[in-house]
């Protein structure tokens, strides 16, 4: 099989390429990535000489390039997106251009080149926010995006579904909770806190740290994506969650403990504008239809991630100067 992976030099995309090549060694992957600040070819250094892998630097909004790359493909897996909420609050233009218009360009190319199988990676943030005791997000939850980032992802989800209904394009969508794992750019909460502590700096916790997130290891996520591609109902959506709801303060304390640090290293900062209270995913549909559920214990996985950042100091130190803030 020949597949195009967009945004494959980013955190989740690069882990997906590693996962797919390990589990489908005869397949061919084209990685299309424009290499924004969060794209890093060092993430893929160990596969760059593989005859089954090719990197193309380019913009998913470049219709001519995308159309050329799409010819003869069997599958498009669309990770490419501007994804940091704080950056979208400061300036939403890149989020609309990449996440909405870029997705439209890819869908047009898939449609015009024989109706190529298209899997779209989305987020739980399109559903809005939950109260502490509210039922978890599911595939039936109405969309209620609350930031420019989540609004742009919601728009791209709607576009993908529209191409299924209008043009019968064979699509699937997965909405995931917060990913963690190796190669994550150090502006997100977990790698930011780990690397700050390794540098002897404090960790910035928004507000009182009561906001809740559901965490999924990137390998569990990519295994779920694989199953959606292989077994998912065409036109369907699947929610992939980690079953690990924790407040930001709880996860901060867990990281401090794993790194032998005290709570004196916590610095409470002004809360994010429009900061969603809680995200949580009900993955019952994926479990029932695909046989998928998360397998990696969160504490064990987090400890492995701490070790990865300790052992890859040169990788993240080159990126810290572009650091944003926590999620």
Active-site pick, 33, 82, 124, 219:
124
Please report which helix (H) or strand (E) contains residue 189, including its range.
Answer: helix 189-198
Catalytic status, residue 149: yes
Catalytic status, residue 124: yes
At residue 41, the 3 state secondary structure works out as: helix
Interatomic CA distance for residues 245 and 230, integer angstroms: 28
Q: Tabulate helix, strand, coil % of the chain (nearest 5).
A: 45, 20, 40
Whether residue 3 contacts residue 30, with contact meaning beta carbons closer than 8 Å, is answered with: yes
Closest to 76 (Cα-Cα) out of 171, 166, 10: 171
The two three-digit tokens of residue 156, written as one number: 């791209």
Catalytic status, residue 62: no
Active-site pick, 33, 53, 82, 149:
149
Whether residue 315 contacts residue 184, with contact meaning beta carbons closer than 8 Å, is answered with: no
Active-site pick, 82, 125, 226, 276:
125
- Contacting residues for 1 by C-beta, under 8 A, at least 6 apart: 24, 27, 28, 74, 75
Question: Catalytic positions, please?
Answer: 124-125, 149
């Amino acid at each position: 099989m020949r597949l195009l992976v967009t945004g494959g030099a980013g955190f989740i995309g690069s882990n997906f390429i590693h996962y797919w090549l390990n589990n489908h060694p005869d397949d061919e992957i084209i990685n299309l990535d424009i290499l924004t600040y969060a794209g890093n070819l060092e993430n893929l250094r160990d596969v760059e000489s593989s005859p089954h892998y090719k990197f193309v630097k380019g913009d998913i909004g470049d219709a001519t390039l995308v159309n050329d790359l799409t010819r003869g493909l069997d599958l498009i897996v669309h990770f490419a997106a501007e994804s940091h909420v704080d950056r979208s609050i400061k300036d939403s233009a890149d989020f609309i251009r990449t996440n909405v218009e870029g997705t439209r360009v890819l869908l047009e190319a898939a449609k015009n080149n024989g109706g190529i199988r298209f899997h779209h990676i989305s987020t739980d943030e399109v559903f809005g926010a939950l109260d502490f005791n509210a039922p978890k997000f599911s595939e039936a939850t109405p969309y209620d995006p609350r930031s420019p980032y989540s609004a742009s992802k919601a728009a791209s989800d709607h576009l993908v579904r529209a191409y299924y209904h209008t043009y019968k394009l064979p699509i699937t969508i997965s909405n995931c909770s917060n990913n963690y794992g190796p190669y994550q750019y150090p502006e997100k909460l977990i790698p930011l806190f780990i690397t700050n502590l390794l540098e002897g700096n404090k960790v910035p916790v928004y507000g009182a740290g009561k906001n809740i997130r559901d965490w999924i290891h990137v390998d569990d996520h990519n295994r779920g994506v694989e199953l959606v591609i292989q077994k998912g109902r065409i036109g369907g959506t699947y929610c992939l969650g980690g079953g690990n709801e924790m407040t930001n303060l709880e996860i901060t304390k867990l990281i401090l403990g794993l790194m032998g640090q005290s709570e004196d290293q916590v610095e409470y900062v002004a809360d994010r504008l429009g900061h969603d209270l809680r995200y949580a995913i009900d993955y019952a549909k994926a479990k029932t239809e695909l046989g998928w559920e998360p397998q990696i214990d969160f504490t064990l996985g987090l400890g492995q991630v701490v070790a990865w950042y300790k052992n890859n100091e040169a990788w993240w130190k080159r990126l810290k100067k572009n650091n944003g803030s926590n999620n």
